[in-house]
Structure 1
């Protein structure tokens, strides 16, 4: 049987996913939309980690570029939310 290795990217993915989920639930319950820039930063980092995991898993350069583009867009949206 093949033994699974501990993957730090999976741990980071789960941690950022839980943070995004928690902040999303808080925003929906309180209807306080001031945390949206933080939410977008965390989602951008999460998509960056997803891209790294997919590239590491499949060795397909295009999936890494796809998720990197999504991460950069999310970070751009977060920066726009912070500035405005």
Structure 2
């Protein structure tokens, strides 16, 4: 069985995912949703890293572009949320 390689992109993905989970739990427990734009920005970065890892793993440009577009849409929504408030 081939062993999985641990790379720097996986490390960043885990770090950003943990931050997203912690901020989301904090917002839900305290019912303070002022950190929601930060959560969305970190989520978009996580998705961007996932897209890069998927492209690097499969060399399939389609899924990389789809995940990149989703990441950019979430980033746009987060920036819009910051500018409205």
Same topology, TM > 0.5 = yes
Question: Are residues 1:48 and 2:81 paired?
Answer: no
Structure 1 residues 58-73: aligned runs within 5 Å: 58-73=58-73
TM-align CA RMSD: 1.2
> What residue is the counterpart of 2:37 in the other structure?
37
1:2 Cα offset (Å): 4.9
1:3 Cα offset (Å): 5.5
> What residue is the counterpart of 1:22 in the other structure?
22
Unaligned segments of structure 2, at least 5 residues: none
Number of residue pairs matched by the alignment: 84
CA distance in 1, matches of 2:39, 2:4: 31
Q: TM-score, normalised by structure 2?
A: 0.93
> What residue is the counterpart of 1:13 in the other structure?
13
